[in-house]
Amino acid sequence: MAKDPILQVETTCGSLLYELQVIIWDEVGETETDRDKMLLELERECLEVYRRKVDQANRCRAQLRQAIADAEAELAAICSAMGERPVHNTRQSDQSLGSLKQELGTILPELEEMQKRKTERRNQFLFVLEEIENITNDIKGQGELVLPKPPIDETDLSLRKLEELHCHLQALEKEKSDRVETIRKHLCTLYSHCSVLGMDFNEVVSQVNPTLTDPEGPRSLSDHTIDTLDAAVQKLREVKIQRMQKLQDLATTMLELWNLMDTPIEEQQEYQHITCNIAASEHEITQANSLSQDFIKYVEAEVVRLGEVKASKMKELVMKKRSELEEICRKTHMLPVSDSAMDQTIVAIESGIVDATLVLEHLEQHISKVKEEALSRKEILEKVEKWLSACDEESWLEEYNRDDNRYNAGRGAHLTLKRAEKARNLVNKLPVMVEALASKTIVWEQEKGIEFLYDGIRLLSMLEEYNLLRQEREEEHRRQRDHKKLQGQLIAEQEALYGSKPSPSKPLGGKKAPRMSTGGAATSRRLSLGAGMHQTPKPNKKADQRQAEGALSTGRRGLDVAGLPSRKQSMDPCEQLQSPLTRKPFSPISTTVVASKANIATPQQLVPSSKSNAVNEISSFATPVKNNNIIKNLEEEKIMMMMQTPKNVAAMIPIPSTPATISVPMQTAPTPLNNNNNARFLPEKAEVIEYSFEERRLAFMLQSESPIHV
């Protein structure tokens, strides 16, 4: 019947009480007090049970509340750690939501969610921190201090913090890459140094830090490593510079030795790559092994070898230096060190008494001293050269003035004339030049306190001597002029005797080389009276001769006016006639020369006319004498006489033979052949046969032979 357990309990409790009070107790007849007592006890026991149950429930509720509070607190902590807004605010505003258990039910999944997120965030932190840790370790150096675990600040897992950590990580990463780069650079430098110096790169590097040699594995990036690496690089660089300087010193020595000994280029070629670096700076030397110990030893060996060669060649070197010294002395006209002194030093070197290097040094010093002196002499020397060349010109002019043919036309004559003009100017300046030179030399001597020697002779005495010579020469000239005046009188006397003056003659000095006859002067042109390059002799009219003579003497006078003294020793006719040649003057044969028998008549016809007309004909004497007409021959001879120059007349008296030069004027008679030819022989020309010398000779030969044969 009792559906509700409580009702049932109450029913049961009521029925039980009834049963107890009515049935049991009545039956038992319990006293009221007992009854009351029993009832009180029952009631007390019941209360006790209630109280216990309530307490229990109360406790349970408190626990629940505690759980909720805990969860909320945790949630709040997590939220704050993660830097998020707490969630329970929403929950508080929603208090009516229900019982504690419900509340707990809503808060727990939230908490779980948050815890999950927190773990994730934490892992993120852990990862970043671990990274940082790794890099820091890399930077700080391996094996130095390995931190056990990255400490995580649980209270701050905010994104901001994470961001900060990331930044830190990036900075570290950058630093790491910087260090890697630095190390790479250092290693590169180190490698190049090692290769230049011929050292083992790996060995050097492993001394710095063994991890650097491992191409695969991680390399130490610590400050220490970098510092050591840097130091190693610096050290090697110093070594390199040191070696480079040594090598350059060696190369310089080598060059000097080569230079000294004139080592052939082929031999030098082998060491060209060393000497070419002689002026290179440190960074320019990059060739592998170019500064290795072995290489330096090799160069050293060569230098030592050269040094030995040099020692053996020292004598030669001394000689060479000496010749250099002599060359300088010669150039500057100073007196070189006397030979005997030099020979003695060489003997001394050979016998080992004197160190050749010392002698060499001494020579070098001497050379530089001489060079210095040469510099101070230079100015005066230049003047001396000028003076000497002026003296040369003067003597040339002297000789030139003696040449009576100097105005004759010829190739280069104008140049000679020009030269003479220059020379005259120069000669006029000579006294001033000498004076200036002398004063300069005196100043020099006073400054230096030594005499100015020119090839060992005191320059001043040279100048003095020259002045004396010059005076003498002037004296001589004066004498010559007087002599000439006398000569003129002699000639005048002769003229009075023979009616003509001798033509000027060539000086027969003998020592003078035949000079291109100079000329082109108007006077001498006039002398030849327009004769072309081909001149034919002609019987000169006296009038012509005089005219020519007049012109000639004008020319001569003109020369004298110019103040050119000329030697006239050869004026004596006897001297002129020393020429042994007996050969008759030759006249060129022209196409119009009539030489054949057929034309024999022509010259005969011409001879008389030539006297009056100045028309000439070579054949008058060049034709082989074929006719036996003695009269004609005589006539010819007479003509010849007439044709002969006045000089010949003079010559005829003392000596019968005729010098070749004497008949010259005949051949240079004024009438040009061509005109002659055109005027006189045109009609005949077709018949004229030109015979060669051989034909004429053969004809003559046959003719002279024929009488014998007949």
Partner 1 sequence: MTLLPSVGRELSNPPSDGISNLRFSNSSDHLLVSSWDKSVRLYDANADSMRGEFKHGGGAVLDCCFHDESSGFSACADHKVRRIDFNAGKEDILGMHDEPVRCVEYSYAAGQVITGSWDRTIKCWDPRAASGPERSQIGTYKQPERVNSLSLVGNHLVVATAGRHVNIYDLRNMAQPEQRRESSLKYQTRCVRCYPNGTGYALSSVEGRVSMEFFDLSEAAQAKKYAFKCHRKSEDGRDIVYPVNAIAFHPIYGTFATGGCDGFVNVWDGNNKKRLYQYSKYPTSIAALSFSRDGGLLAIASSYTFEEGDKPHEPDAIFVRNVNEIEVKPKPKVYPNPPA
Q: Hey, CA dihedral for 132, 135, 140, 143, is it positive or negative?
A: positive
Q: Which residue lies nearer to partner 1 by CB, 345 or 500? A: 500
Question: Is 86 a residue that touches partner 1 (CB under 8 A)?
Answer: no
d(CA 470, CA 464): 10
Site for partner 1 in 542-561 (CB under 8 A): 552
In the complex, what is the shortest distance from the CB of residue 487 to partner 1, in angstroms, rounded to a whole number? Answer: 18
Number of residues that bind partner 1 (CB under 8 A): 60
Q: Which residue lies nearer to partner 1 by CB, 504 or 539? A: 504
Question: Is 508 a residue that touches partner 1 (CB under 8 A)?
Answer: no
Question: Is 357 a residue that touches partner 1 (CB under 8 A)?
Answer: no
In the complex, what is the shortest distance from the CB of residue 489 to partner 1, in angstroms, rounded to a whole number? Answer: 23
Question: Is 616 a residue that touches partner 1 (CB under 8 A)?
Answer: no
Question: Is 83 a residue that touches partner 1 (CB under 8 A)?
Answer: no
Are the C-beta atoms of 360 and 318 separated by less than 8 Å? yes
d(CA 594, CA 605): 12
Q: Which residue lies nearer to partner 1 by CB, 59 or 422? A: 422
Site for partner 1 in 523-542 (CB under 8 A): 524-525, 527-528, 531, 533-535
Q: Which residue lies nearer to partner 1 by CB, 155 or 591? A: 591
Piece of 55-63, 160-168, 180-188, 699-707 that binds partner 1 (CB under 8 A): 699-707
d(CA 617, CA 673): 9
Q: Which residue lies nearer to partner 1 by CB, 304 or 625? A: 625
Q: Hey, CA dihedral for 565, 567, 573, 578, is it positive or negative?
A: negative
In the complex, what is the shortest distance from the CB of residue 379 to partner 1, in angstroms, rounded to a whole number? Answer: 24
Question: Is 607 a residue that touches partner 1 (CB under 8 A)?
Answer: no
Question: Is 499 a residue that touches partner 1 (CB under 8 A)?
Answer: no
d(CA 419, CA 561): 19
Per-residue binder mask for partner 1 (CB under 8 A), 397-426, x = binder: -------xx-xxxx-x--xx-xxx-xx---
Q: Which residue lies nearer to partner 1 by CB, 432 or 533? A: 533
Piece of 88-96, 169-177, 242-250, 664-672 that binds partner 1 (CB under 8 A): 664-672
Options 502, 504, 565, 603; binder of partner 1; rule CB under 8 A: 504
The tokens for 231 are: 């130091």
Options 211, 588, 632, 652; binder of partner 1; rule CB under 8 A: 588
Options 11, 158, 661, 677; binder of partner 1; rule CB under 8 A: 661
Question: Is 622 a residue that touches partner 1 (CB under 8 A)?
Answer: yes
Question: Which residue type occupies 127?
Answer: F
Question: Is 697 a residue that touches partner 1 (CB under 8 A)?
Answer: yes
d(CA 153, CA 129): 11
Three-state DSSP string of 231-291: HHHHHHHHHHHHHHHHHHHHHHHHHHHHHHHCCCHHHHHCCHHHHCCCCCCHHHCCCCCCC
The tokens for 319 are: 């000689």
Helix runs in 449-541, H state only: 459-498, 522-528
Options 616, 667, 671, 676; binder of partner 1; rule CB under 8 A: 667
Are the C-beta atoms of 567 and 479 separated by less than 8 Å? no
C-alpha separations of 211 from 84, 170, 215, 250 in Å: 47, 24, 8, 39
d(CA 523, CA 545): 15
Owner of token pair 């049991």 = 24
Question: Is 624 a residue that touches partner 1 (CB under 8 A)?
Answer: yes
d(CA 33, CA 533): 205
d(CA 703, CA 694): 14
Beta strands 457-458; 453-454: pairing state:
antiparallel
Question: Is 602 a residue that touches partner 1 (CB under 8 A)?
Answer: no
Question: Is 630 a residue that touches partner 1 (CB under 8 A)?
Answer: no
Q: Which residue lies nearer to partner 1 by CB, 416 or 602? A: 416
* DSSP code of residue 571: G
Options 591, 609, 633, 678; binder of partner 1; rule CB under 8 A: 591
Q: Which residue lies nearer to partner 1 by CB, 524 or 599? A: 524
CA angle (631 as vertex; 628, 636 as ends), nearest 5? 95
Piece of 22-30, 129-137, 341-349, 687-695 that binds partner 1 (CB under 8 A): 687-695
Find the helix or strand (DSSP H, E) in which 79 lies.
helix 32-82
In the complex, what is the shortest distance from the CB of residue 350 to partner 1, in angstroms, rounded to a whole number? Answer: 42
Q: Which residue lies nearer to partner 1 by CB, 482 or 690? A: 690
In the complex, what is the shortest distance from the CB of residue 693 to partner 1, in angstroms, rounded to a whole number? Answer: 4
The residues that bridge with 454 in the sheet, in sequence order, are: 457
Piece of 48-56, 75-83, 561-569, 696-704 that binds partner 1 (CB under 8 A): 696-704
Cβ contacts of 648 within 8 Å, gap of 6 or more: 658, 662, 663
Question: Is 366 a residue that touches partner 1 (CB under 8 A)?
Answer: no
Closest alpha carbon to 332 in 375, 387, 386: 375
In the complex, what is the shortest distance from the CB of residue 528 to partner 1, in angstroms, rounded to a whole number? Answer: 5
Residues recorded for the chain: 710
Q: What is the DSSP string of 11-35?
A: HHHHHHHHIIIIIIHHHHT--HHHH
> Is 222 in a helix, a strand, or coil?
coil
Q: Which residue lies nearer to partner 1 by CB, 221 or 413? A: 413
In the complex, what is the shortest distance from the CB of residue 333 to partner 1, in angstroms, rounded to a whole number? Answer: 24
Residues that bind partner 1 (CB under 8 A): 404-405, 407-410, 412, 415-416, 418-420, 422-423, 503-504, 517, 519, 524-525, 527-528, 531, 533-535, 552, 580, 582-591, 621-625, 661, 664-665, 667-668, 690-698, 700-701, 704
